[in-house]
Structures are given as C-alpha cells and as structure tokens.
Amino acid sequence: MRTQVAIVGAGPAGLLLGALLHRAGIDNVVVERRSADHVLGRIRAGVLEQVTVDLLDEAGVGARMRAEGLAHGGFELLFGQRRKRIDLYKRTGKRVMVYGQTEVTRDLMHDRAGSGQPTVYLAEAVTVRDFDTATPSLTYRKGGSEHRVDADFIAGCDGFHGVCRASVPTRAIRTFEKVYPFGWLGLLADVPPVADELFYGHTERGFLLCSMRSRSRSRYYLQCSLDDKVEDWPDERFWGELSRRLPPEVAERLTTGPSIEKSIAPLRSFVAEPLRFGRLFLAGDAGHIVPPTGAKGLNLAATDVALLARAIAEHYRGSDDGIDRYSERALARIWKAERFSWWFTMLMHRFPENGAFGLRMQQAEFDYLCASTAAQTSMAENYVGLPLA
C-alpha cells in the first residue's frame, strides 16, 4: 500500500490528524494494534479547551459536541474549609467544553468511516522502518499475512507505550520524567453530577475531583495510594469516602449509584525531546504525558496534530519550514502545559512526605490565588488553553 502519511494509533490524536489531513487533500492510513471497541472503551478526559473545540469544528466533527457538550464558564476549588470559584469567562472571555474523550473518538471514527480513508485495526507486530531516509515505511501482520505501507511521513500517535518512540535510537532522544507518589481512583456512574461545574478539592483525606460527562453521567476521582487495587474499592466504599471528603453542604446533594467503570491511574509528568526524527513525528502521549489535573492530555494531543497537519500541508505546497519547526513549536506549548499541570497537582494533592512546611506552602499559595486577580487570571488562561503557536 502507498500513502502520503502513515499514522500509527487510532486514538483521538491519530484520528484527528487523519481528519485534518483528509480535509487538506492529503491521503493517509491509520494502523492500530487494538480493536475499535477497545479504543472506544478507554475512559479518559472530558474537558476540552477552546482551541480543541475549534479544531474539532475545523475537522468537521464538532456538530454533536456542540449539541450535547456542556460549556462551562468556571470551576470551583476547595482547600480545607475554603472555597473559591475561578471565573474562566470573566478572566479570559473563554469557556471550556465538557465532552468525553470517548465521544470525541466516536465522532472521529464515524467521520473516518465516511471519508474513504483506510483504518487497520488489530494490526500485529507494527514496525516503523527507514524513517531516517526519504522512503519511510511501516509493516504489520494481520490475518496471517504480512503487510507494508510506504509513505512520505510517519506520525507516531500510538501512546506512551507505543512502538514509534521506542523505535528511536536512545542516543537521539532525551526524556524528562516525574512520577508522583499517588494515583487517581476514578468512578463513572449514570447519576446526575453533584455540582454544575467541576469541583476540585484538597482535603485532609486527600484530593478529590467531581466531574461529569453529561447532565446524567458523572465522573469522580479520589487520590489514592499506588498500592491500592480496584477490588479494594467496592462502590459503597468509594461513595462513602467521596462523601467524607466533600463539604457537608455539597455531600448532601450527592447522588450515588452502581459504577459503570472504575480504574486507578498513576500520575506522571513526561516529555520526550525532540518530537521529530527524520520523517517520523511523535504526537500526543507518544511524546508527552501530563497529570490529569487540569485536563491537558487530550488537548495537548489535539494541538500537536494541528501543528503537524499544517506542517505536512505546507510541505506539499513547497515549504518545509513547518516540518523543520514542528518539534520546537509543539514543545514550547507542551512545556507550558506541563508546568501548569505540575503546579495544579502540587497545589491540590496531599504530600505527607513534605510535612507541615509543605502544607503551609500550599495554604499560602491558595490564599494568594484567592486574593489576587492576576493569579486567578493566570490560572484561567492556562485552564482554558494557551493559544496555538
């Protein structure tokens, strides 16, 4: 098979890149090692920055998001007994959209199915080859047969554990990582949200986040030990712990119900540099990971592929400036999002190992945030998403 761009990974990053390239008249093939059902079954982020909303519209897949998503003009913070609403719209003139990553992926899959651009699911032994030459390719096995895709470029959108970054010689790449000493226990349930907007909390018992996917589906998170197992947390225990961490006036509004999904996610910050290796490009989780605090993961992936799609389109119009500067441009935005996610994580979680001094620093940071219009504006600007470079 011959194509212009071979995309490894059929998550939202790979599918959005495919949609943007298709609308620019650029042929592409998506190769994914998992099934479509498995990709759709992954429960991930649900808060979209304005730039991501605009990119989904640009890709032609924004109609259902516009109809069913929830536009939020702010969110609330809890620290101990104190509460503070961050007014995003007042500080920035922008909102965020609450719309689950599963639904974004579903919309992109539906669009791709109608586009005629091929997608290969359940591809085994995917290997990227010769990306340091002018004739890169990838191979995979399916149905007992070996297949080859020749391309002008390869886009690695295959996640943190994917083959693309792993194929780069170690001498050619540098990585930066911070692993946090706790995880997030998440529960999804078909119950109405406890609040109209997202609710982040720092409590003596640990962090909490009250989020939602719709007006009738809620997503809740609790800071937990890395030693915890999902089976340690039956629904009754989860709801009881969430209620204890919420302020009484909020807890009394909590509606409980059977979980649809429950999982524990470790938290890490990770960046690989650079993001370009000849004709192989990394985008999304293949190149970086952020803690879920602040909901930057999907949004960073979207802006990566927007920059990459524009760079590739420029190449076919005769200029390689975008390709040459892709890594630089993407990393400039990535590191700003890494900083914000790290800062928000450090503010809102319990770090017993930091002792009383560390807690006082968190309290002082929260006090400053509550009292300073400039600090609230800075937080709002980062939360709604910095401009696309």
Nearest Cα to 366, choosing from 74, 78, 91, 88? 78
- Give bridge partners of residue 221 from the DSSP assignment: 186, 209
Give the torsion sign (CA, 188, 191, 196, 200).
negative
Query: CA torsion, points 11, 226, 385, 155, in degrees to nearest 10?
Result: -30
What's the CA gap between 317 and 309, in Å, rounded?
Answer: 13
Query: What Å distances lie between residue 325 and 27, 152, 227, 284, 335, CA to CA?
Result: 22, 18, 42, 17, 16
Please identify which of the residues 99, 140, 180, 200 carries the catalytic annotation.
Answer: 200
Q: How many CB atoms lie within 10 A of CB 321?
A: 10
- Clarify whether 383 is annotated catalytic: yes
What's the CA gap between 30 and 229, in Å, rounded?
Answer: 34
Please identify which of the residues 12, 22, 72, 140 carries the catalytic annotation.
Answer: 72
Please identify which of the residues 202, 262, 296, 349 carries the catalytic annotation.
Answer: 296
Please identify which of the residues 180, 221, 326, 383 carries the catalytic annotation.
Answer: 383
- Whether the Cβ atoms of residue 188 and residue 262 lie closer than 8 Å to each other: yes
Q: What does the radius of gyration of the chain's CA atoms come to, in whole angstroms?
A: 21
Please identify which of the residues 291, 292, 315, 349 carries the catalytic annotation.
Answer: 292
Catalytic residues: 72, 200, 292, 296, 383
